[in-house]
Amino acid sequence: MEHFLACYLEQFNSVPRNSLHDRRKRYDMVDYISTLIEACREKNEEPEDAANEAVTHLIDYHEKMRSTNSNVCLMGKYHNILYVALKLCYLWQLKNTKTIASLLDKIYACEKTFERLFIGAIFGNKAPHFIAGWKSDFDDQEENLRAVVYFLDRANKACLNYCFSDDIIYRFIDVPIENCGKSSPVKIVTQLGLPDKLLIFLRYGASIYNEEDDGNPIEIIMKRLLEFNHVYPFTLVACLQILLRVTPTVKFRHLDDSVTTQSYIEENYAELVSDAILPITRCGVIPPDLKHICRCVIRDKMMENYQLPIGIKALPIPYNLQRYIDILED
């Protein structure tokens, strides 16, 4: 495996710098390396070991090329080779957490974002070409979303954190997307009204209160709902309901000590309360029920230990309570 990859990458040095900009070229490279991994399986070698060796070799190649340029990524084909490794990880369902963490770290070190992974899952495979000038490395939006879930799981197992601007630390799921106004994936899917994707991100421990700009996802969606004059779109209502499952009570940014929560709600969101869209037990008017508070506390502790959602199954509680803590029901 190592010999074939070394020979292949030696020839790779002579191809044009933009040779991997075309997604089909990246696909060809993935197919070639996958064939090598399959050949190892036929020789009774573990495909996990072969896939791990291939991905590690590609990462090492990227680092070797970067070291020749004063440790600054040369981008072009030398950076796109990391996305070949990314696709290989997903295709072969690589389990080596250390290798996957190293790959994600290298991508972030060069780009300061994971938008090439998230944009296709959120907007669809055609969107990345118009938003950022490249095409997704996955066949369709569904596969891209499955890939995001795969890397979310591995990132949690590796306890990955990344330092963004002003020394703000973000988890993998919360890293802002550069070409979407530096918003988090949770904020984007909330604005778009995509409850299925919002549920996935929140289950894996995404934060709803780490935004540095004005407003958090809950306030944003509540203000949007007010625009529909009591005829509320199901998708937006579903997003609000899911968001309210992960916080004891809504934290309003512009609420100060001079105004009570009840008067603030009556002045700004009375319609949502009267229409039973915004429960008074989740907006601070009256205390939330104990069951919901317990869920939020448990989830916060599990998030701190990177155990969402996989660790929920290990809790010694009935299955229906596991689903409740996993925000699959309310």
Q: According to the model, what pLDDT value does residue 213 have?
A: 52
The tens place of each residue's pLDDT in the chain, 330 residues long, gives: 777 788 878 887 788 888 888 889 999 999 999 999 998 877 777 889 999 999 999 999 999 999 988 888 888 889 999 999 999 999 999 999 999 999 999 999 999 999 989 998 998 877 766 666 677 889 899 999 999 999 999 999 999 999 876 678 899 999 998 888 888 999 999 999 999 999 999 999 999 986 555 568 898 899 999 999 889 999 999 999 999 999 998 888 777 777 788 888 888 899 999 999 999 999 888 999 999 999 999 999 999 999 999 999 999 999 999 999 999 998
Angle among Cα 45, 51, 55 to the nearest 5 degrees reads 145
Q: According to the model, what pLDDT value does residue 189 have?
A: 94
If asked whether residues 222 and 161 sit together in one domain, one would say no
Q: According to the model, what pLDDT value does residue 168 have?
A: 82
Phi then psi for 283, rounded to 5 degrees?
Answer: -120, 10
Domain assignment of residue 65, yes or no: yes
Residue 203: CB partners within 8 Å, gap ≥ 6?
A: 308, 309, 326, 327, 328
**CA dihedral (68, 73, 76, 80) positive or negative:** positive
Number of domain units in the chain: 3
Q: According to the model, what pLDDT value does residue 41 have?
A: 76
Q: According to the model, what pLDDT value does residue 167 have?
A: 74
Domain assignment of residue 215, yes or no: yes
If asked whether residues 161 and 275 sit together in one domain, one would say no
If asked whether residues 294 and 219 sit together in one domain, one would say yes
Q: Please tell me the distance from the alpha carbon of residue 327 to that of residue 31, in angstroms, as a whole number.
A: 39
Domain of residue 327: give its range: 207-330
Domain boundary among 110, 127, 152: 110
Domain assignment of residue 200, yes or no: no
If asked whether residues 87 and 153 sit together in one domain, one would say no
If asked whether residues 117 and 146 sit together in one domain, one would say yes
**CA dihedral (80, 74, 114, 51) positive or negative:** positive
If asked whether residues 103 and 12 sit together in one domain, one would say yes
**In the chain, what is the straight-line distance between the N-terminal and C-terminal CA atoms, in Å?**
50
If asked whether residues 78 and 145 sit together in one domain, one would say no
Domain boundary among 110, 129, 157: 110
The answer, as to whether pTM is greater than 0.85, is: yes
Phi then psi for 46, rounded to 5 degrees?
Answer: -70, 125
Domain assignment of residue 196, yes or no: no
Domain boundary among 78, 110, 142: 110
Domain assignment of residue 201, yes or no: no
Q: According to the model, what pLDDT value does residue 181 have?
A: 83
If asked whether residues 218 and 305 sit together in one domain, one would say yes
